């Protein structure tokens, strides 16, 4: 028997006999010919079954095959200029592994609920393949960026006794007769890591029990969060722009085929190189006013505001110096303008909104304790966090990048639900 | 001002002026000399402050510095054969960033509870540094192994509506008036991924509400789980041994310094190369009998049993063909011996026990449905999982590697609690 190979490797086997195995993605019949589109997860290839070249039994099997049936074929790899792959297979033998029942996902239009109910099958479509592969590349290059710069991975816990940003949107669980909450961000723990290792990142799922049904919200989403000791807001913004550029350029380079399948316009993506425009909150408010947006100075930006601001630029824009009162308690205030936090958000172009939120952190014990009290946070639960300001406190900063929003932007999707293999939303816990 | 560099890079700056920043790890005084051991998270370096070479003010600051105080120094990098780093710094200027309060972790022996209460500070010690760095390298090379082989990352959800292996050890949470459970394994979802992408892996935290206080148990632990379509038990075992060898050899190569700090005996680790011994469950039982262990044939192995079995070998051992009744419902039975599951566990040497559990999965719809009923599992919740056997079912297999147990083994630790930055156990939810 010839070697079993993956379809992505057929170019190395031109004019040779190989064995392939996978699922039937599509089929055409024409007289004495059966054209079987075989997918094996790495690629798809057209397998040509000619009645004159195979046994009657094999031709019968090829005729029987239903969509998503699994099968093995033996055949010769030949050049085929017309196919996207550049090769097809001239079949000499075929074995059915499993004849599929009538496949529920057909070529007709399906409703979103139906597709989401069948997410375990929907993942087999070429469009979902492309998205998940881009997601993988985003995650791979995100880790690579920090690994190459000598950051240490310091995983934050998922179970936490306290909440970084209020308790209303927390998932709660019984923890051996105590209460535990699912983390909304690894940042506070990342700060402890930065005091130990200098530059760290954590990367894991985070959770928000938000009752929002917008196209930007999941209850379970992944975040990568670097935290750097001896770092101020400026350096933080610089690392963030280099980081996002690294990811985007890697996806363009390594997942070009997938972006083509997604019909992604690369004009905006190709621009994503440092430096990014960086504007003060005040300038962002000016943009809104110029565009006749009804906005109350001092508020945080909503989705529409972010869209209008980001539409002014040809690459992601960083807005910094948000009013302290709309930002989290742990953000340091600018000594030069104490009403502003040393905070920054990165807004993706084309209306994709916030993909990064970050800040320089309050490093003064007394100021931080005051904020904790102001926000009515349980001081005892934050004792360890305050400790970081007692023993060798240093200026430090970091940010968090939401993976799903980044996938959504880079793939050009209209809804975040396709950015993760098994999305969880307010009304979606299955499959 | 000279460039700010990281201590790990000083070798490139011999006889040059540099600026370093970090925390005081240790200090010695001797007349006109202050020896400051500076750590910046990448390395530690001895900074020599000679009274004759600096201003009175700088010498006074060097004298004042307490353990874990943060500071910046300027000085010349010089060779020092006696130090582990090979270099020291001749200080010309010094600036205190923050003078630390009396540091709670001293050189004296501390109890485990005290250290765990201060985990956010304990992470700064050289031993904890070494462990977390080895952990990082394990995770990095685990991903690298699958990325290099063309596996696709398919993240499994954390919130699940049903449980893979019974509900008694599940953490439960309110999910918008429904119940959701925290995942114990991404495997079932991984199987859907394998039918879509061929070879996949998922990697994330998993949860078990076990009331056990052994040195091997955490409530929150990380698992990497590959799943492969068109794969049987034999290939599964082969991938597992190549995977574990890849990780161990990478740690030996890239984290040798850390293993030295941990005083890890490398004899056993160096042996970790394929092929690993693979023994049938029956042979494992024979080993227990020969060693006069009281063991009931047909049971699963306990911790002591695993230790005795693994002690017979100089590298990890794979035990396969466990009795089906002690294994999970989704494991395929061997048609040649239907009482046995096509299951395998990998036991680490030196008494570290199970680090991998895996199997070939039941791929027949009727057989799987029967198992689900036998185990009184909710058929409706598994409808999607059964679907995978309706639409192009194929032989498939996979396994899960527990990161923390692997860290524990490779680092030679006696307790799993030091293998993760912020461990969660039955009695530990803080910090």
Mean pLDDT of chain B: 95
Name the percent of chain A lying above pLDDT 70.
Answer: 99
Q: Which of residues 9-48 of B touch A (CB under 8 A)?
A: 21-24, 40-42
Does residue B283 sit at the A interface (CB-CB below 8 Å)? Answer: no
Does residue B378 sit at the A interface (CB-CB below 8 Å)? Answer: no
Other Cβ atoms closer than 10 A to B263: 9
Q: How far is B42 from chain A (nearest CA, A)?
A: 7
What local confidence, expressed as pLDDT, does residue B85 receive?
Answer: 94
What local confidence, expressed as pLDDT, does residue A165 receive?
Answer: 55
CA neighbor of B219 nearest in space, from A178, A431, A226: A178
- Distance CA(B400)–CA(B14), nearest Å, equals 47
**In this structure, are strands B199-207 and B220-229 parallel, antiparallel, or unpaired?**
antiparallel
Q: Is the pLDDT of residue A215 over 90?
A: no
pLDDT digits (tens, 9 = 90+) for A228-254: 999 999 999 999 999 999 999 999 999
A131-145, A395-409, B212-226: range with lowest mean pLDDT: B212-226
Q: pLDDT band for A216, please (50, 70, 90 cuts).
A: confident
Q: Is the pLDDT of residue A163 over 60?
A: no
Burial class of A272 by CB neighbour count within 10 A (0 to 12, 13 to 18, 19+): buried
What local confidence, expressed as pLDDT, does residue B167 receive?
Answer: 66
* Mean pLDDT of the region B343-369: 96
Mapping DSSP to helix (H, G, I), strand (E, B) and coil, where does residue A55 land? coil
* Mean pLDDT of the region B298-317: 94
φ/ψ (deg, to 5) at B245: -65, -45
- Distance CA(A180)–CA(A159), nearest Å, equals 6
**Contact yes or no for A195 and B97 at CB 8 A:** no
Mapping DSSP to helix (H, G, I), strand (E, B) and coil, where does residue A375 land? coil
Out of A8, A193, A393, the one facing B150 most closely (by C-beta) is: A8
**Contact yes or no for B204 and A204 at CB 8 A:** yes
Q: pLDDT band for A168, please (50, 70, 90 cuts).
A: confident
Q: Is the pLDDT of residue A121 over 90?
A: yes
CA-CA-CA-CA torsion for B350, B354, B356, B360, nearest 10 degrees? 130
What local confidence, expressed as pLDDT, does residue B431 receive?
Answer: 95
Q: How far is B227 from chain A (nearest CA, A)?
A: 13
Out of B180, B395, B431, the one facing A429 most closely (by C-beta) is: B180
Tell which CATH architecture fits domain A7-98: Beta Barrel (2.40)
CA-CA-CA-CA torsion for A113, A119, A124, A130, nearest 10 degrees? 80
**Contact yes or no for A100 and B391 at CB 8 A:** yes
pLDDT digits (tens, 9 = 90+) for A66-95: 999 999 999 999 999 998 899 999 999 999
**Contact yes or no for B153 and A140 at CB 8 A:** yes
Query: HSE of B89 in the Cβ direction (CA atoms, 13 Å)?
Result: 30
Q: How far is A96 from chain B (nearest CA, A)?
A: 9
Does residue B426 sit at the A interface (CB-CB below 8 Å)? Answer: yes
Interface predicted TM-score of the whole assembly (ipTM), two decimals = 0.97
Mapping DSSP to helix (H, G, I), strand (E, B) and coil, where does residue A191 land? helix
Chain B residues closer than 8 Å to A97 by CB: 392-395
Burial class of A150 by CB neighbour count within 10 A (0 to 12, 13 to 18, 19+): middle
What local confidence, expressed as pLDDT, does residue A210 receive?
Answer: 85
Which sequence spans correspond to the domains of chain A? 7-98, 119-419
What local confidence, expressed as pLDDT, does residue A152 receive?
Answer: 98
Burial per residue of A58-83, b for 16 or more beta-carbon CB atoms within 10 angstroms, e otherwise: bbebbeebebbbbbbbbbbbeeeeee
Q: pLDDT band for A213, please (50, 70, 90 cuts).
A: confident
A227 CB-near residues (< 8 Å, 6+ apart): A187, A190, A191, A193, A194, A199, A200, A201, A202, A396, A397, A398
**Contact yes or no for A387 and B24 at CB 8 A:** no
pLDDT digits (tens, 9 = 90+) for A313-338: 999 999 999 999 999 999 999 999 99
- Distance CA(B26)–CA(B105), nearest Å, equals 12
Q: Which two tokens stand for residue B331?
A: 């494991």
- Distance CA(B391)–CA(A63), nearest Å, equals 17
What local confidence, expressed as pLDDT, does residue A107 receive?
Answer: 81
Q: pLDDT band for B213, please (50, 70, 90 cuts).
A: confident
Does residue B380 sit at the A interface (CB-CB below 8 Å)? Answer: no
Q: Which two tokens stand for residue A423?
A: 């999305």
Does residue B219 sit at the A interface (CB-CB below 8 Å)? Answer: yes
Q: Which two tokens stand for residue B255?
A: 């984290």
Q: How far is A352 from chain B (nearest CA, A)?
A: 23
What local confidence, expressed as pLDDT, does residue A192 receive?
Answer: 98
CA neighbor of A180 nearest in space, from B206, B417, B173: B173
Does residue B124 sit at the A interface (CB-CB below 8 Å)? Answer: yes
* Mean pLDDT of the region A48-54: 97
What local confidence, expressed as pLDDT, does residue A211 receive?
Answer: 84
Q: What is the DSSP letter of A13?
A: G
Does residue B220 sit at the A interface (CB-CB below 8 Å)? Answer: yes
**Contact yes or no for A394 and B98 at CB 8 A:** yes
Q: At what angle do helices A403-411 and A126-148 cross, to 10 degrees?
A: 120
Q: Contact at 8 Å (CB) between B318 and B279?
A: yes
Q: What is the DSSP letter of A185?
A: -
- Distance CA(B169)–CA(B423), nearest Å, equals 18
Chain B residues closer than 8 Å to A361 by CB: none
Name the percent of chain A lying above pLDDT 90.
Answer: 91
Q: Is the pLDDT of residue A102 over 80?
A: yes
- Distance CA(A95)–CA(A97), nearest Å, equals 6
Does residue B63 sit at the A interface (CB-CB below 8 Å)? Answer: no
**Contact yes or no for A123 and B192 at CB 8 A:** yes
Does residue B172 sit at the A interface (CB-CB below 8 Å)? Answer: yes
Residue of chain B minimizing CA distance to A155: B421
**Contact yes or no for A230 and B21 at CB 8 A:** yes
Which residue matches tokens 């304790």?
A369
Mean pLDDT of chain A: 95
Q: Which fold has domain B119-419?
A: BirA Bifunctional Protein; domain 2 (3.30.930)
* Mean pLDDT of the region A127-137: 98
Q: Is the pLDDT of residue B361 over 60?
A: yes
Q: pLDDT band for B216, please (50, 70, 90 cuts).
A: confident
- Distance CA(A75)–CA(A69), nearest Å, equals 18
Out of B98, B161, B198, the one facing A41 most closely (by C-beta) is: B198
Does residue B69 sit at the A interface (CB-CB below 8 Å)? Answer: yes
Residue of chain A minimizing CA distance to B118: A384
Q: Contact at 8 Å (CB) between B127 and B261?
A: yes
* Mean pLDDT of the region A372-380: 90
pTM of the model: 0.97
Rounded (5°) CA angle A23-A24-A27: 170
What local confidence, expressed as pLDDT, does residue B165 receive?
Answer: 55
* Mean pLDDT of the region B54-80: 98
What local confidence, expressed as pLDDT, does residue A146 receive?
Answer: 98
Does residue B114 sit at the A interface (CB-CB below 8 Å)? Answer: no
Does residue A431 sit at the B interface (CB-CB below 8 Å)? Answer: yes
Out of B153, B159, B196, the one facing A124 most closely (by C-beta) is: B196
Chain B residues closer than 8 Å to A135 by CB: 153
Does residue A176 sit at the B interface (CB-CB below 8 Å)? Answer: yes
Element (H, E) at B404: helix B403-411
- Distance CA(B355)–CA(B306), nearest Å, equals 11
A187-191, A192-196, B351-355: range with lowest mean pLDDT: B351-355
Q: Contact at 8 Å (CB) between A210 and A219?
A: yes
Q: What is the DSSP letter of B16?
A: S
Which residue matches tokens 């807005």?
A319
Rounded (5°) CA angle B341-B342-B348: 105
Chain A residues closer than 8 Å to B141 by CB: none
pLDDT digits (tens, 9 = 90+) for B20-62: 999 999 999 999 999 999 999 999 999 999 999 999 999 999 9
What local confidence, expressed as pLDDT, does residue B217 receive?
Answer: 86
Q: How far is B172 from chain A (nearest CA, A)?
A: 6
Helix spans in B177-232 (H): 187-197
């Amino acid at each position: 028997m010839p070697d079993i190979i993956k379809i992505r490797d057929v170019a190395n086997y031109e004019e040779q006999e190989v064995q392939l195995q996978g699922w039937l993605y599509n089929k055409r019949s024409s007289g004495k010919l059966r054209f079987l589109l075989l997918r094996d997860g790495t690629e798809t290839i057209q397998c040509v079954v000619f009645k004159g070249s195979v046994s009657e039994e094999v031709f019968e099997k090829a005729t029987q095959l239903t969509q998503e049936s699994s099968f093995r074929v033996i055949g010769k790899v030949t050049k085929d200029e017309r196919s996207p792959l550049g090769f097809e297979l001239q079949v000499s033998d075929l074995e059915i592994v499993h004849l599929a029942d009538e496949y529920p996902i057909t070529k007709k239009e399906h409703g979103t609920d139906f597709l989401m109910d069948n997410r375990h099958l929907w993942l087999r479509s070429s469009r979902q393949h492309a998205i998940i592969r881009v997601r993988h590349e985003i995650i791979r290059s995100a880790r690579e960026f920090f690994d190459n710069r000598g950051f240490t991975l310091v995983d934050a816990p998922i179970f936490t006794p306290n909440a970084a940003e209020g308790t209303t949107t927390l998932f709660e669980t019984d923890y051996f007769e105590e209460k535990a909450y699912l983390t909304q961000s690894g940042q506070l723990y990342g700060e402890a890591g930065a005091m130990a290792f200098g530059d760290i990142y954590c990367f894991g799922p985070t959770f928000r029990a938000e009752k929002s049904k917008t196209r930007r919200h999941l209850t379970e989403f992944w975040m990568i969060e670097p935290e750097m000791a001896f770092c101020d807001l400026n350096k933080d913004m610089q690392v963030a722009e280099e980081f996002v550029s690294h990811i985007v350029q890697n996806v363009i380079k390594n997942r070009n085929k997938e972006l083509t399948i997604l019909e992604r316009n690369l004009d905006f993506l190709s621009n994503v190189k440092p430096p990014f425009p960086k504007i003060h909150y005040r300038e962002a408010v000016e943009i809104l006013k110029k565009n006749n947006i009804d906005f109350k100075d001092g508020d945080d930006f909503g989705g529409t505001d972010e869209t209008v601001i980001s539409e002014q630029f040809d690459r992601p824009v960083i807005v910094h110096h948000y009013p302290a009162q709309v930002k989290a308690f742990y953000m340091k205030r600018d000594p030069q303008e104490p009403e502003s936090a040393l905070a920054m958000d990165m807004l993706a172009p084309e209306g994709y909104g916030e993909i990064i939120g970050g800040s320089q952190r309050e490093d003064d014990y007394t100021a931080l304790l005051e904020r904790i009290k102001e926000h009515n946070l349980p001081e005892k639960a934050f004792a360890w966090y305050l400790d970081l300001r007692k023993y060798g406190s240093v200026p430090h900063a970091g940010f968090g990048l939401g993976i799903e929003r980044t996938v959504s932007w880079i793939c050009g999707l209209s809804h975040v639900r396709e950015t993760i293999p098994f999305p969880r939303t307010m009304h979606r816990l299955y499959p």
